[in-house]
Amino acid sequence: MIRDFNIDDLTRFEPNEFSDPATVPDVFKEDYQKHTLVLASGIIGAIICFKEVSPRDWAGFFLISKHFRFADATEIQDFIRDTVAVHKPKRLWTASRNHKILEGRHRLLGMEKEQTIELNNKELNIWSFNYGN
């Protein structure tokens, strides 16, 4: 089940090796739309954040818990599809660490790698869905 985010979700969230809420603290104060994937067991599976950064260009990211399984990706894919149907972005993108596991996860979701950039001395990949509508 995906529901609106509650700040208390952070206290129950157990991040995987790639997701650290401390690296994005301002997101929880800014105008990002935030949602929480709650697994059947009641455990927080993911925190989903996105916002429009320019007309019809949306940036977003997921904080994924250590309890998240590939089977849970289907619910996130459905959520993305439904969100896109409502907001109609031309592009939905994320910046992600350059890592083989993360590359596989982005491809699993159906994202395409656009480019690699350097930000704060870290190599990041830009992954996106391009809808062109």
Domain residue ranges of the chain, discontinuous segments joined by + = 2-130
H-helix segments, 18-129: 73-87, 100-109
Residue 119 pLDDT class (50, 70, 90 cuts): confident
Q: Which two tokens stand for residue 98?
A: 């350059």
User: Which of 38, 130, 33 lies closest to 75, judged by CA?
Assistant: 38
Burial (CB count <10 Å: 0-12, 13-18, 19+), residue 94: buried
Is the model's pLDDT at 133 over the cut of 70?
Answer: no
Say whether pLDDT at 24 is over 80.
no
Measured in degrees and rounded to the nearest 5, phi and psi for residue 28 equal -80, -5
Q: pLDDT for 79-115, tens place per residue?
A: 999 999 999 999 999 999 889 999 998 998 889 999 9
Could you tell me which residue, 133 or 118, shows the higher pLDDT?
Answer: 118
Q: Which CATH number fits domain 2-130: 3.40.630.30, 3.20.20.140, 3.40.50.970, 3.40.50.2300?
A: 3.40.630.30
Is pLDDT of 25 > 80? Answer: no
At 21 the pLDDT is 85
- 60: nearest Cα among 72, 46, 74, 40: 46
Residues paired with residue 57 on neighbouring β-strands, in sequence order: 54, 91
Q: Which pLDDT score is estimated for 1?
A: 93
